[in-house]
Amino acid sequence: MIPLVPTLETERLILRAPNEGDFEADVAFYASERSHGFGGPLSREQTWRNLATVLGHWIIRGYGFWAVDEKSTGLYCGHVGLWSPEGWPEPEIGWAVQAQAEGRGIAFEAALKARDYAYDKLGWSTAISSIVPGNTRSIALVRRMGATFENHYEHPSYGQMEIWRHPTSDALKETA
């Protein structure tokens, strides 16, 4: 009964449907300080519910977060994908990568693949990433993707967020 989630592949990564096997790693991530820019911290109960919401997002919207595995080690690295729940300012490219996957460009590689999927398969013309101010790693990543700071907005739960605007689909085609 897993919703239809396409499996994607990059040089080093597999992007696949999230599943219950990821749960303990997700619990550890959402219990840690790392999760503060990503809606955390969350209890075990909330983390399970978050996993359920991630799967439901795929069914309702037709896109969502992938679970990312490193091919060479099989290491589960976290969630990267496309996110637009009710009340979100615009469809976004998002990531929440675990500590063990940090510093090797894994989120960057997966986020580029997710953006290509949004532009090439879903027909998005533009995309944002919303980032908690001060999340310097995510800001460095989004800059590396060619995005530029657009403005701030106030999320009712997460507080102030920065909106970063990715190059449009057309702009990427021109530079390709």
Query: Per CB under 8 A, which region of 86-94, 96-104, 122-130, 135-143 contacts other proteins?
Result: 86-94
Query: By the 8 A CB rule, do 118 and 91 touch?
Result: yes
Segment lying near other proteins (by CB under 8 A), choices 19-27, 106-114, 145-153, 167-175: 19-27
Q: What is the DSSP letter of 156?
A: T
CB of 146 to other proteins, least distance (A): 29
- Per-residue mark of binding to other proteins, 39-78 (x: CB under 8 A): ----xxx-xxx-xxxxxxxxxxxx----------------
Contact flag: residue 21 with other proteins (CB under 8 A): no
**What single-letter DSSP state applies at residue 101?**
G
**Closer residue to other proteins in complex, CB, 137/155:** 155
